[in-house]
Structure 1
Amino acid sequence: MTARVDHEERRRQIAEALLRIADTQGLQSASMRAVAAEAGVSLRLVQYYFETKQGLLLDALTRLAAQLQARMEKWIGEAGSPPTPRGTVTAILSCILPTDPESRRITRTYAAYYTLVLNDPEVLEKHGARQPELLEGFLAKRIAAAQEAGEVDPGKDPGIAAAGLLAMVNGLGSSVLGGQRTGEAATAILARHLDELFRTPGETARALPSADSPNATSS
């Protein structure tokens, strides 16, 4: 009897081969033939499951997003139960920073995709910003919830705060991968910014030196 082929497993095998190439060599090296060799299958089989290279690229990108989603859910679960708005925001941003092998792989692979879509306006328009927009919106909702609970200054704009935090984390991630700073240093910078965000006006006032403080500047 002929063994039944698990088509989804075949597609996963091929897509993950592309992701490995993207991580280690960049997507410019991910030809259909190279992906077939990495996956240990024939070129014809790759073309059977993915008629075009763009179809393969987008399928692999969806799987990469699912891997990041699973990582974020794991970190949120480990942040406490039930998760607080601050705990959720901290877990998501912390797990994105490339501080361990998995997060470094995910960050490098996303960087390879960013390089690709910047040179392809059609792909950029359809797929380039979708995941970041969803994540930014989710973070903004958590910051707004903390604001309603009195844990964030009511004068803060949750959307702008979320966008700023994500931009900062992306920049920190690049500096870690580039060797400018360690993962520990990047995590400490993130923690400092989160402390500043999740501080009520009363806490801010208490943190400032008073006129009677020996550290206060005299006029």
Structure 2
Amino acid sequence: MPKRVDHARRRAHIADALVRLAAREGLHAVTMRGVAAEAEVSVRLVQYYFESKGKLMHAALERLEEQSHQRWSARLAGMRRPVTTRAFVDAFLAEALPTDGPSRDFHLVWTSYATLAMTDPELAAQPFVAGPDRLERRLAEALRRAQDDGALGPGRDARSEAALLLALGHGLGTSVLVGQRTPEAARTILRAHLDQLFAAPDVTSAPGDARKA
């Protein structure tokens, strides 16, 4: 009986090999042959699963995104219930910072891919912004719920605040990656922003209000 092949596992194995190679030598130096050698498979097998280097790189980004979400979920699972919106966002920002091997590889490969896509039509044609768009929508939904619960000021635009959180996280992550600041310093900045974002809105009782002391 022919051996059953787990194609999803093979694709993940090859994508993981690209990430290791890119983290070690830089994404610009990655070739299909180099990925095949790293994965200890034939070039033909890599080409069978990924028609081009651009598609292989995009698959690696999706793999990194999936792993990052798993780590984010693990952080949330370890928190006391119910998880507040602030804790939800804080867990995401903590995971997004390059503080260990997996998160460093994610940030490095993503920023490298974005840079290469500026001048490489094949990479630019890949829908590589789909991941950030999904994150932005998820954060925006969480912030809208926080507004409904009164934890976020009604005057704030949830979608704009979500975009700002992503931009702040990515920027600070890059500053950690290049050694401009420590992960602890970046976390301090992020938490200071969250203090402002989730500060209790000022409520002034109107004259004659029965709740006024």
SS of match in other structure, 1:69: helix
Whether contact under 8 Å (1:32, 1:43) holds in the other structure is yes
User: For each residue in 1:90-127, what CA deviation from the matched residue of structure 2 results, as whole angstroms up to 9, or x when unmatched?
Assistant: 11111101122221121112112212222235643541
Match of 1:136 in 2: 136
Q: How many residues of Structure 1 are paired with residues of Structure 2 in the alignment?
A: 203
Cα drift, residue 78 of structure 1: 2.2
Alignment of 1:1-219 (within 5 A): 3-121=3-121, 123-124=123-124, 126-202=126-202
Percent of residue pairs identical? 47
Alignment CA distance shift 1:133-1:6 (3 Å) = closer
Whether contact under 8 Å (1:86, 1:142) holds in the other structure is no
Cα distance in 2 between the residues matched to 1:76 and 1:199: 22
Whether contact under 8 Å (2:23, 2:108) holds in the other structure is yes
- TM-score normalised by length of structure 2: 0.86
Alignment CA distance shift 1:149-1:99 (3 Å) = same
Task: Report which stretch shifted further, 191-200 or 109-118.
Answer: 109-118
2:53 alignment partner AA: K
Task: Report which stretch shifted further, 15-24 or 190-199.
Answer: 15-24
Question: What CA RMSD, in Å, does the superposition of the two structures yield over aligned residues?
Answer: 2.0
- TM-score normalised by length of structure 1: 0.84
2:94 alignment partner AA: S
Cα distance in 2 between the residues matched to 1:184 and 1:122: 37
2:59 alignment partner AA: D
Cα distance in 2 between the residues matched to 1:114 and 1:14: 21
Cα distance in 1 between the residues matched to 2:52 and 2:102: 28
Cα drift, residue 22 of structure 1: 1.7
User: For each residue in 1:75-99, what CA deviation from the matched residue of structure 2 results, as whole angstroms up to 9, or x when unmatched?
Assistant: 2222332322111111111110112
Cα distance in 2 between the residues matched to 1:173 and 1:96: 7
Cα distance in 1 between the residues matched to 2:140 and 2:62: 23
Cα distance in 1 between the residues matched to 2:92 and 2:72: 5
Match of 2:206 in 1: none
Cα drift, residue 4 of structure 1: 4.2
User: For each residue in 1:119-161, what CA deviation from the matched residue of structure 2 results, as whole angstroms up to 9, or x when unmatched?
Assistant: 2356435413211111111111111111111111111111111
Q: Where in structure 1 are there 5+ consecutive unaligned residues?
A: 204-219
Cα drift, residue 69 of structure 1: 1.4
Whether contact under 8 Å (2:17, 2:38) holds in the other structure is yes
Whether contact under 8 Å (2:61, 2:109) holds in the other structure is no
Cα distance in 2 between the residues matched to 1:4 and 1:137: 39
SS of match in other structure, 1:169: helix
